[in-house]
Structure 1
Amino acid sequence: MKSKLTTTGSRLNPSQRPAICLGMPLYNQTRFLPQALDSLLAQTYGDFNLFVSDDSTEAGPGQIVNSYAAKDQRIVYHRNEYRRGLIDNWRNCFELAGEMDYFAWVGDHDAWHPRWLESMVQILNTCESVVLVYSQNVNIDNNGGILDKKIKPGISTLGMDNTRRPLVVCRQGQGFGNMVYGLVRARALRQAGVFPRVMWPDVILCIKLALIGDIHQVEEKLWFRRRTDRFSMPRQKRALFASYRPWYFKLPWPLVNAWMLTRSPPALAGSETGPQRNLRFNLAAVYFQRWWSKFGGGSWIGSPHEWRRGKATWIRKLKKFRTAVELKSK
């Protein structure tokens, strides 16, 4: 879904340049890390700081980052004292950055076109309604070759009213894992809760940002996203937290996430109007209706979505057994 971008005002002069921070959650990456750092440091818009939060169990990634930091003062390296897990390490990137205007998470194994950051900064500088802007991406393999994989369409909510916008993102949005790597206004990110401690935190974050302002995609392929492994639900669940998991992770995640959408941001607690509260509950209902069919995905039982496509583990085992029986009978 695309909308025409209409900018307001003009580009900021040097004395008004926004404070921009990039956050890199690092975990045991050494092979592609130098290329990622080179790619970021070569951006045409170079007025930013890169905060690296190292959650690795090995010393190699930190040594690589420190070698770059010794040559470029824009890099700030932090080694966690203990394993945080994916969610808290992402949150730590934002906390390390401190006060800023714009923020973006960056992968430790990806690459970016030199104009990636500049293209997004220009939109946030000139379109006040946009709180999150992200570029189109190209999927690449370990050797840098382009993967023949369908890329989910982007979305732009420009021109939508405050009620329709979050509902459209919740009901029709795709590629939330791409959206979350865009450039976001720091104040909006704080209001949305940064990176929620839930299953599928990227989805919940983007929906909450849509409650605050517009989401827009740059119509250029400026991000080269490296697909190193096939997605695995069990691996994703293990990676979210290093040790302790919140008690509510024992409950069905579609229910928990829908509940999260009903909660008001602390900054607005007690000041929301009736229509705003109603919108949150309506949003939670839309979310639950869309995502309930994925509950159980990656487990032995599987989800209704996997059942319909014959991808549940028990269905695959049954097909394999039936094939073996048919071969023996021949």
Structure 2
Amino acid sequence: MAAHNNGHPRVSIGIPVYMGENFLETAIRSVLAQTYQDWTLVISDNASTDSTEAIARRYCAQDDRIHYHRNATNLGAGANYNKCVEISDGEFFKWLAHDDWISPNYIEKCVAALDANPDASVAFGKPKEMLDEDTPYAKSTFTAPEWGDAGPVERFAMAMRMPRTCHAVFGLYRRSVLDRTRLHCPYYTSDRNLVAETALLGRFVTVPEATFYNRKHENQSMAQSANRIFLNTWEDSGNSKRHSTQHLSRLGHFLEICGRYPDVASRSELFLSSAGFFFSPKKFFRYLDETCEYSAPGAYGEARRLMVRAYRTFKKSDRYIKT
């Protein structure tokens, strides 16, 4: 297949990885198996100390469309995701986590969908959660968002309310859309706001013939979702705070997005579309919780430990992977 007329492949795929020797090869092989061949793959390594670099360089030697970049230090997950975009140059861009993989027709079908829908910002395949390459995750309940012909403000509001599993961020994006955003911001769950931002800028197209395989395992970030301090530094390695402002950060990011696109929708339209979500009683409790932790971390930490201990006394612990 001929290269795009700007001299670069039409599709750039970015694999952000840290200590990924366990699953990286599966992700790379799924890219090599694509029926659509006009792509380049960038592997951005967050200063891994396992065999991630050796694996990546071995595949670079086998195919000159694969490129390896190594950060001098661990930038955190968010910045490494952004680095993949920064060092790529395709008309379309897709993130692929090192522990996931895609069906051989994924890129072909998603490119065709974007070509057929010039007003779409992203095309994504059917998500399928897996325990390994052969075993579906029996407890999976995720389905792709179906927003039909909803307008920009309605899409934005629905995307902001999407469940915590944010598979849509792994679709195939128009690079021109991503370039208008701040990409991933330095707080956990910023991908949800990014998805909402791209939904504001264009329609989402579901491609049911293509499949995105999401691996469920005990070492992935979502398995640590209750560990707020871990998530602070996982998303942003420069964040040494002993407290979390995840929900306050997401609120601030939402307010910023509301005023960023006057050519698409007014600040008031976007604010009102999601005010019920961001200012619900549950959210207010989260904001108060984070403010107290920030203001008096010592006293707060002791009180929270007592509350958690009491809670665990009455609630049986649950595993992240439910079999």
1:209 aligns with 2:198: yes
> Which of 81, 90, 93 is 1:90 aligned to?
81
Shift of 1:287: 3.6
1:255 aligns with 2:225: no
1:178 aligns with 2:167: yes
> Which of 9, 28, 31 is 1:40 aligned to?
31
CA–CA separation in structure 1 for the residues paired with 2:86 and 2:130: 30
In structure 2, relative to structure 1, the CA distance for the partners of 1:142 and 1:293 (3 Å cut) is farther
SS in 2 for 1:193: coil
Q: How does 1:97-116 map to 2 (within 5 A)?
A: 97=88, 99-116=89-106
SS in 2 for 1:180: helix
CA–CA separation in structure 1 for the residues paired with 2:106 and 2:263: 39
For normalisation by structure 1, the TM-score amounts to 0.78
Shift of 1:109: 1.9
CA–CA separation in structure 2 for the residues paired with 1:188 and 1:241: 24
Equivalent residues of 1:110, 1:226 under 8 A apart: yes
> Which of 156, 177, 181 is 2:146 aligned to?
156
In structure 2, relative to structure 1, the CA distance for the partners of 1:46 and 1:15 (3 Å cut) is closer
Residue identity opposite 1:151 in structure 2: T
**1:8 corresponds to:** none
CA–CA separation in structure 1 for the residues paired with 2:270 and 2:187: 17
In structure 2, relative to structure 1, the CA distance for the partners of 1:228 and 1:278 (3 Å cut) is same
1:314 aligns with 2:306: no
> Which of 115, 118, 123 is 1:128 aligned to?
118
1:232 aligns with 2:220: no
SS in 2 for 1:52: strand
Equivalent residues of 2:105, 2:210 under 8 A apart: no
In structure 2, relative to structure 1, the CA distance for the partners of 1:197 and 1:282 (3 Å cut) is farther
CA–CA separation in structure 2 for the residues paired with 1:294 and 1:116: 41
Equivalent residues of 1:261, 1:283 under 8 A apart: no
> Which of 119, 125, 138 is 2:128 aligned to?
138
Shift of 1:34: 1.6
**1:279 corresponds to:** 269
Cα displacement string for residues 48-67 of structure 1 (whole angstroms, at most 9, x for unaligned residues)? 11011001431511101101
In structure 2, relative to structure 1, the CA distance for the partners of 1:69 and 1:252 (3 Å cut) is closer
Cα displacement string for residues 215-249 of structure 1 (whole angstroms, at most 9, x for unaligned residues)? 2322246122111216222143331122336x8x9
Cα displacement string for residues 83-142 of structure 1 (whole angstroms, at most 9, x for unaligned residues)? 111111111111111x33110100112222101111111111110121022111222224
Shift of 1:250: 5.4
In structure 2, relative to structure 1, the CA distance for the partners of 1:300 and 1:136 (3 Å cut) is farther
Residue identity opposite 2:187 in structure 1: V
In structure 2, relative to structure 1, the CA distance for the partners of 1:300 and 1:130 (3 Å cut) is farther
Cα displacement string for residues 30-79 of structure 1 (whole angstroms, at most 9, x for unaligned residues)? 12222221111110011111011001431511101101100101101011
Equivalent residues of 2:127, 2:142 under 8 A apart: no
CA–CA separation in structure 1 for the residues paired with 2:176 and 2:267: 21
1:62 aligns with 2:60: no
1:244 aligns with 2:244: no
Equivalent residues of 2:12, 2:40 under 8 A apart: yes
**2:319 corresponds to:** none
Deviates more, 1:255-264 or 1:60-69: 255-264
Structure label with greater radius of gyration? 1
For normalisation by structure 2, the TM-score amounts to 0.79
**1:23 corresponds to:** 14
Instruction: State the Cα RMSD in Å.
Output: 3.2
CA–CA separation in structure 2 for the residues paired with 1:50 and 1:219: 24
SS in 1 for 2:127: strand
Shift of 1:28: 0.8
Deviates more, 1:201-210 or 1:174-183: 174-183
**2:296 corresponds to:** none
Equivalent residues of 2:187, 2:236 under 8 A apart: no
Gaps of 5+ in 1: 1-11, 321-330
Q: How does 1:178-197 map to 2 (within 5 A)?
A: 178-197=167-186
In structure 2, relative to structure 1, the CA distance for the partners of 1:48 and 1:96 (3 Å cut) is same
Gaps of 5+ in 2: 291-300, 317-323
